[in-house]
Amino acid sequence: MPESTLFQTAVVTGASRGFGRAITAALVAAGTRVVGIARHEQDLNAVHDGEGFTPVAADATDEALAQDVIGTHRPGLLVLNAGAVPHMAPVHEHTWETFTSNWDVDTRHVFTWTRAALRQPLAPGSVVVTMSSGAVLGGSPLSGGYASAKAAIRYIRGYAADESQRAGLGIRFVTLLPNMTPAGGVGAVAVAGYAARQGVDRDTFVKGRGPVLTADQVAKAVVELAGNPDSAPEYRVGGDGLSPLG
């Protein structure tokens, strides 16, 4: 992690569980003050006890919240990780509401915070890391609009990077595409769903997918990419490490 004052403060959405919780812990351990955002106050307060962590129990899709947090805390790093656990069912068993749940949370909150980052704007040299999914590359037939919602996050990153360059803002945008893993809440539900679809138990399904991605590996990747000004714009991350896309 760079010692630049830009990274004295970071904002992590979806900080109360899974990848967000691990990312928060890694950043605090690296000496970064983290403003952690999640809906459930009790879970959020359990993330970290002591200095270096400011819990904010709120809806990460709230535009006023994004503007206020960026304006008040002036973070040098945004990690946009919040997301809904998708309803697992084949497409014909979804309703429109369950099919679009990840658009309403995952995509909307990335749009909201990216927009705020460009309009405030963040200071030159700041970094925005957005969490997409490996499902974008192969589809996800049991999770409704999940893969398409995560694909839209990739587009938002590209659009934002272009606008930053056009305006000379100097903000860097990076997207991570984690492989499916039982390590997080979303991944655990997906693993169970696809194991059942294949007619195998959970452990057999996981073993057949190769090295298991851990939340700590995702956190390490975020810290590494945030501190690397020469990073590629997109990376897939799995149990075997980081792989640039493109």
Q: Is residue 21 pLDDT above 70, yes or no?
A: yes
Mean pLDDT in residue range 59-64: 98
- Placement of tokens 């452990």 in the chain: 203
Mean pLDDT in residue range 223-234: 95
Q: Concatenated DSSP letters for the chain?
A: ----GGGGEEEEESTTSHHHHHHHHHHHHTT-EEEEEES-HHHHHTT--STTEEEEES-TT-HHHHHHHHHHH--SEEEE---PPPP-B-GGG--HHHHTHHIIIIIHHHHHHHHHHHHTTPPTT-EEEEE--THHHH--TTBTTHHHHHHHHHHHHHHHHHHHHHHT---EEEEEEEPP-TTSHHHHHHHHHHHHHHT--HHHHHHTT-SPP-HHHHHHHHHHHHT-TT--SEEEEETTEEEE--
d(CA 187, CA 85): 9
pLDDT in tens, 75-94: 999 999 999 999 999 999 99
Q: Is the pTM of this model over 0.75?
A: yes
pLDDT in tens, 150-203: 999 999 999 999 999 999 999 999 999 999 998 877 888 999 999 999 999 999
Percent of the chain with pLDDT over 70: 97
Query: What is the per-residue pLDDT for 5?
Result: 40
Q: Is residue 2 pLDDT above 50, yes or no?
A: no
Q: Is residue 67 pLDDT above 70, yes or no?
A: yes
